[in-house]
């Protein structure tokens, strides 16, 4: 099981990696930083739910959750 702080660290690192892969470096401009913040905020809001948070056993599950959260934000 992960603490909220550990999950935030994993989420932020993974979101930075994903954005970098799509030429959306967070350091480049405020628009990319806003995209980063929206994704991280959505993930962390959902992860406040203890039942959900307790389901994660490894980093890959957290990364899958992040990808699903991004898809949710796209179709929302």
Determine the pLDDT at residue 1. Answer: 87
Nearest to 53 by CA among 19, 7, 13: 7
Low-confidence ranges of the chain (pLDDT < 70): none
Token pair recorded at residue 42: 């959505």
Determine the pLDDT at residue 76. Answer: 79
- Round the CA-based radius of gyration of the chain to a whole number and report it: 12
Token pair recorded at residue 15: 């979101």
Separation between Cα atoms, residue 1 and residue 22, nearest integer Å:
30
17-22: Cβ within 8 A, 24+ apart: 18/66, 18/67, 18/70
């Amino acid at each position: 099981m992960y603490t909220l702080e550990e999950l935030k660290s994993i989420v932020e690192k993974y979101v930075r990696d994903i954005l970098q892969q799509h030429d959306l470096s967070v350091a480049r401009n405020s628009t990319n930083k806003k995209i980063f913040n929206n994704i991280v905020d959505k993930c962390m809001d959902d992860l406040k739910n203890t039942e959900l948070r307790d389901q994660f056993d490894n980093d890959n599950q957290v990364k899958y959750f992040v990808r699903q959260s991004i898809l949710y934000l796209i179709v929302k």
